[in-house]
Amino acid sequence: MHTSTADAATSTEETSVERKGSLVVVGTGIKTTGQLTMETIAWIERADAVPYVVGDPIAEAVIQRLNPEGAVSMASYYEEGKSRMFAYNAMIEHILRDVRSGKKTVAAFYGHPGVFAYPSHESIKRLRNEGYSAKMLPGISSEDCLFADLGVDPAVGGCQSYEATDFMLNSINIDSSSQLVLWQIGTLGDWTYKRQMYDIRAMPLLVQKLSQVYPLAHLVTVYEAPMFPGTEPMIAKIPLYWLSDFPITAAMTLYVPSARSRTPDMQMLSMFSMNAPYAGGSTPNDTPSVQGS
């Protein structure tokens, strides 16, 4: 079939128009009014379309105010009692539709947009494969809030971080000399969407798994980051064995401090000491960390 010059020009023009769309994925933080970055605000204001999923009415009002014409909530894709994956796939299609139509799209998700956010990563992946510009900006997650509110440093002894259900169902080597963070303990074992309380009857199984490494009397912290101005974080230090009876909500995170000291690798320490340029007998643990990492 012969293609005319006019048809070819039209096809090229249409392809050019299709590729004008772009995606920037941003995070609104946990407490939106204080954790939206200036860069994120600027991107939301200049966008043609702002599909968003946030966890509170203040965050929604902020986004609607920043871009009243383009802001559209994707929360309606969640359906009570249905797998959250159905909602995630619908969000992805929504975002892709906006970008493919040539819109400068800014997709906003609560917290950090790349932490437990399958739709954001998958949207970027698909759009880049199709030749569109797609990127993500960092945001503040509940784990960031946890480190600040509990006054713990993940670099001291290290920190293991897992989604709670993934942690429970897979064989994972826990290092009890490091810190442990378990996300989403309030949705443990429940893959469906619930507007109220999730089914967390599997909590005793999580306690059982943790008790293989930690004493049942080991103090753990149930944490929930504050979402609204003027509110305080929920911080409850309890023995591990109390976790099954604690009133857990969907937004809670579990922090488990180390239960033992680290064991030095004497052979490596000896080799390192012979080659490292430390003066005055100092060791690597005496070296101050770089601030702002």
Catalytically annotated residues: 84, 88, 110
Angle at 245 between CA 239 and CA 251, to 5 degrees: 90
- What is the C-alpha separation between 62 and 68, in angstroms, rounded? 10
Alpha-carbon span 195 to 139, nearest angstrom: 25
The full DSSP string for the chain is ----HHHHHHHHHHHHHHTT-EEEEEE-BSSHHHH--HHHHHHHHH-SBEEEE-SSHHHHHHHHHH-TTTEEE-GGG--BTSBHHHHHHHHHHHHHHHHHTT-EEEEEESB-TTSS-HHHHHHHHHHHHTT-EEEE-----HHHHHHHHHT--TTSS-EEEEEHHHHHHS-----TTSEEEEE-GGGTT--BB-SS----TTHHHHHHHHTTTS-TT-EEEEEE---STT---EEEEEEGGGGGGS---TT-EEEE---S-----HHHHHHHHHHS---TT--GGGSPPPTT-
